Amino acid sequence: MYEKDYILRMIEMLGVLLRAIFGMITRGNYQQAEEQLHEAYLTMLRKDASFFHRIPDDELTTTLISDHNYTHAHLEILAELFYAEAVLQYAKDQKANSRSCFHKSSLLYDFVDKTYKTFSAERIDRMAEIRNRIAEMDEMKN
């Protein structure tokens, strides 16, 4: 029960933090948004963002679950952080970095959706949004 309450509080805190980060991005405060985002990685997942970026896409979920004991809740938090980072990179016109973050976010959400026993309309909506953003970026390349 304690762990479930803790995770729920972390997810609520993440929502507040992400709304603030998206506000900073909207106002063009990219440096501040980036600082807050990197702080969120450390606070929420106890690892620097670069740690997660170094993990190859095809090993992401396996590595985090087996080697670092991450739960589905951790993976969903990481998916949201990657999503926020993708939005920030896109706003900074760093399309390749943005696409990479969207892709990692999508991989995590797909994994959580397939293996977690809880339905989430928000997760389904976010997954569709990410797929659309990736498709848009791929179309822009062609």
Instruction: Give pLDDT tens digits along the chain (142 positions).
Output: 456 676 667 778 888 999 999 999 999 999 999 999 999 999 999 999 999 999 999 999 999 999 999 998 899 999 999 999 999 999 999 999 999 999 999 999 999 999 987 788 888 999 999 999 999 999 887 6
> Under DSSP, is residue 142 helix (H, G, I), strand (E, B) or coil?
coil
Compute the distance between CA of residue 64 and CA of residue 68 in angstroms, rounded to an integer.
5
pLDDT computed for residue 133 by the predictor: 95
Report the residue count for the chain. Answer: 142
Question: How many Å apart are CA 41 and CA 39, to the nearest integer?
Answer: 5
